[in-house]
Amino acid sequence: MRVAKGFKSGYVALIGRPNVGKSTLMNRILGEKLSIVTDKPQTTRNRILGIKTTPRSQILFFDTPGVHKGRHRLNEIMVNSALASLQDADLILFLIEPVTGISEDEGFILKKLNEVISPIYLIINKIDSLKKDQILPVIEAYRGRLSFKEVVPLSALRGDGVDLLEEMIVRALPEGPPFFPPESITDVSQRFMIAEMIREKIIRRTHREIPYAATVVVEAVKRRESGGLTDVEAVIYVEKDSQKGILIGRRGDMLKEIGSLVRPEIESFLNSKVFLRLWVKVRKDWRSQVGALREFGFQ
């Protein structure tokens, strides 16, 4: 890639409490569904790199887990990975969804943001669901706590205000060559992407503690020599026998449904017909077990 004079590149961290729309915003700017999105909090569990390259810039987004309090070691790992992204960022996007005042989680984030030197934009998301006169007092409250380089109201879902934000991001980035080839969109593995697609369907289709107690490990992705078929094998781990029963469902109905929801998505991702096999296994208390967490990809 020939690099234009004045080319800009750098890291942009998305941070905020769970469910404010961080993943939706990154996907919207990338124009690809890279991070999974659901209406339940704590959907994203890992820091996910999203790369957007244009002729004049390369933006490297860190989508991060929502900052929250939780009682498992997993919650701590999630929050630490979000906070670690602040250290590496050239620019920080602090996303909020102004439904109430400043929450405890947001107070905690503000305290952490006070310690960083990179510029911070306050992003007020979901303006499609707010009245205009609701927004101003929110901005005032946050401004009283921290000085923001910019305040940007937008709707990640509908796209309103997102092009403008992208321009403002590029403006803030340092000059420098791209870090990745222009066709890259992420650095996460194919197996991780497939595991996330499956997990998204689990979160959407189950309730109560199951979305939080489930994790997915893709064990094999093998293209058959002939017939244009790819075998995908994945294990869903839960913490208790009762959760396993619910996830399998009566006569296997729930598992079948999750499989038929996710298979088309895996097929278009792999560009191949897919034979998907899902298993459910119990790994007691995996969210608190260092060994299991490491095995499931949480450092």
Q: Does 81 bind ligand GTP (CB under 6 A)?
A: no
Of 19, 46, 53, 186, which lies in the binding site for ligand GTP, with binding defined by CB under 6 A? Answer: 19
225 to 229, 231, 268: CA distances (angstroms): 8, 11, 19
Which of these segments, 36-44, 175-183, 233-241, 270-278, binds Mg ion (CB under 5 A)?
36-44
Shortest CB 249 distance to ligand GTP, Å: 24
Q: Does 21 bind ligand GTP (CB under 6 A)?
A: yes
Q: Does 128 bind ligand GTP (CB under 6 A)?
A: yes
Q: Which among 98, 8, 110, 5 is positioned nearest to 59, based on CA atoms?
A: 8
Q: Please give the size of the binding site for Mg ion, defined by CB under 5 A.
A: 4
Neighbours of 201 (CB within 10 A): 20
Q: Does 44 bind Mg ion (CB under 5 A)?
A: yes
Return d(Cα 182, Cα 141) in angstroms, integer. 40
Which of these segments, 35-43, 69-77, 85-93, 227-235, binds Mg ion (CB under 5 A)?
35-43
> How many CA atoms are closer than 13 Å to the CA of 68, on its beta-carbon side?
19
Q: Does 156 bind ligand GTP (CB under 6 A)?
A: yes
Strand pairing category for 229-238 and 273-282: parallel
Phi first, then psi, for residue 152 (nearest 5°) are -125, 110
Of 53, 81, 118, 125, which lies in the binding site for ligand GTP, with binding defined by CB under 6 A? Answer: 125
Q: Does 24 bind Mg ion (CB under 5 A)?
A: no
Of 9, 13, 21, 23, which lies in the binding site for Mg ion, with binding defined by CB under 5 A? Answer: 23
Q: Does 81 bind Mg ion (CB under 5 A)?
A: no
Contacts of 228 (CB under 8 A, 6+ apart): 272, 273
Q: Which among 197, 258, 270 is positioned nearest to 231, based on CA atoms?
A: 270
42 binding partner (options ligand GTP, Mg ion, none; Cβ < 5 to 8 Å by kind): ligand GTP
Residue 60 contacts residue 12 (beta carbons within 8 Å): yes
Which of these segments, 122-130, 207-215, 249-257, 268-276, binds ligand GTP (CB under 6 A)?
122-130
Q: Which residues bind Mg ion (CB under 5 A)?
A: 22-23, 43-44
